Amino acid sequence: MKRSTPIPPERSRQVAMAFDSHKMLGMSPRQREAVLMALATLLMEATETARKEEPHERA
């Protein structure tokens, strides 16, 4: 019995981000919260857009 060739996993499109970068050290807790909320919203919107794309539109 011949084994089938395993399908390689899809290449990850995940990006590593440092949320505690030195650029945020000068921010107040309120500013930092606003920035992180905006980033989280942007990432969630990007995820929804990617789900709606046709497979041939994905890079």
Q: Is residue 37 part of a domain?
A: yes
Q: Is residue 46 part of a domain?
A: yes
Q: Is residue 47 part of a domain?
A: yes
Q: Is residue 40 part of a domain?
A: yes
Per-residue pLDDT, 12: 64
Q: Is the pTM of this model over 0.75?
A: no
Contact 40, 57 (CB under 8 A): no
Q: Is residue 15 part of a domain?
A: no
Q: Burial, 44: exposed, middle or buried (Cβ in 10 Å; 0-12, 13-18, 19+)? A: exposed
Point out the residues of the chain with pLDDT beneath 70. 1-3, 9-23, 53-59
Per-residue pLDDT, 30: 92
Q: Is residue 1 part of a domain?
A: no
Closest CA to 32 of 20, 44, 42: 20
- Domain with 46, as residue range(s), is 26-51
Per-residue pLDDT, 14: 63
Per-residue pLDDT, 35: 87
For residue 52, what are the CA distances in angstroms to 7, 24, 44, 55? 24, 33, 13, 9
Count how many domains the chain has: 1
Q: Is residue 19 part of a domain?
A: no
Q: Is residue 18 part of a domain?
A: no
Per-residue pLDDT, 25: 76
